[in-house]
Structure 1
Amino acid sequence: MTLPTTLHYTKDHEWIRVEGDVAIVGITDHAQRELGDIVYVDIDTVDKDVAQHDVFGTVEAVKTVSDLFSPITGTVLEVNSKLADAPETVNSDPYGDGWMVKIAIANPAELEGLLSAEAYGELVGA
């Protein structure tokens, strides 16, 4: 299982990469493996404010549907449009082209409460 050390992680299996005042968010390698083949990503929160831990969308796999939880408070700026036609990108490249949303960071202090790669690895037994 891959766990880039430059990212932050949540107990809900999302990752976050900070670029200035914007957070790029996706699901972890562990999460996509547990879900199996992803067939649909449903995110309709563009231009909406989300609070930390709020649901910002869902991901549908062959065997289940799972909520996506925001790792931080902010405004959803963009959804990865590539996922509409190729949701399986989340499986093949969860930390790259499989990102899900970009969120304007409202409260940078929330980043302090997120997990490091090492802590997340311990959580999932990696």
Structure 2
Amino acid sequence: MNQLKFTASHEWLRQETDGSITIGITDFAQSELGGIVFVQLPAVGDTLAQGAEAAVIESVKVAGEINMPLAGTVLTVNAALEADPSIVNDSPQDAGWFFTFKPDNPAALDALLDDAAYQQLISNHS
């Protein structure tokens, strides 16, 4: 399994062998949000700038968004989440992935947090 990268806003990213990147939310994020009840994903083919809203997520506690950590074009979406958003609660870093995208600048992934830096970040939330 490829090493995950993380954002300070609690998304995980995994570079796939074809160069695409899969994105979802971390286990920490889903546990903070509580039960996920709604997910709205981007459309395949959407070209999104870094920082742009890519997806909407609602839980029993709060509504929020997933912002693009890197600019790119959406390749696939996890349609299963729209039918059953609770998959994110059960498997946030596996079956609960949100979408894949082709990054405009793949090297920008290196600037994101590694696991050690992310663990340090969330330890400050405890």
- What TM-score results when the alignment is normalised by the length of structure 1? 0.91
* Residues in 2 aligned to 1:78 and 1:35: alpha-carbon distance in whole angstroms: 24
* Residues in 2 aligned to 1:12 and 1:24: alpha-carbon distance in whole angstroms: 16
The corresponding residue for 1:8 is 5
How far does the alpha carbon of each residue in 1:38-92 deviate from its partner, in whole angstroms, 9 at most, with x for none?
0010123321111222210110001110110112111011110110111001010
Residue 96 of structure 1 aligns to a residue in which SS?
coil
Contact 1:89/1:98, CA 8 A, preserved across alignment: yes
Alignment of 1:78-117 (within 5 A): 78-117=76-115
* Residues in 2 aligned to 1:39 and 1:45: alpha-carbon distance in whole angstroms: 20
Residue 15 of structure 2 aligns to a residue in which SS?
strand
In structure 2, the gaps of 5 or more residues are: none
* Residues in 1 aligned to 2:112 and 2:42: alpha-carbon distance in whole angstroms: 24
In structure 1, the gaps of 5 or more residues are: none
- What TM-score results when the alignment is normalised by the length of structure 2? 0.91
| Runs of 4+ more than 3 Å apart | none
* Residues in 2 aligned to 1:12 and 1:97: alpha-carbon distance in whole angstroms: 20
Q: Evaluate the alpha carbon distance shift between residue 49 and residue 5 of structure 1 in structure 2; reply closer, same or farther with a 3 A threshold.
A: closer
How many pairs does the alignment contain?
123
Alignment of 1:19-34 (within 5 A): 19=16, 20-34=18-32
Residue 51 of structure 2 aligns to a residue in which SS?
coil
Post-superposition shift, 1:5?
A: 8.1
Q: Alpha carbon RMSD of aligned pairs, Å?
A: 1.6
Post-superposition shift, 1:114?
A: 0.3
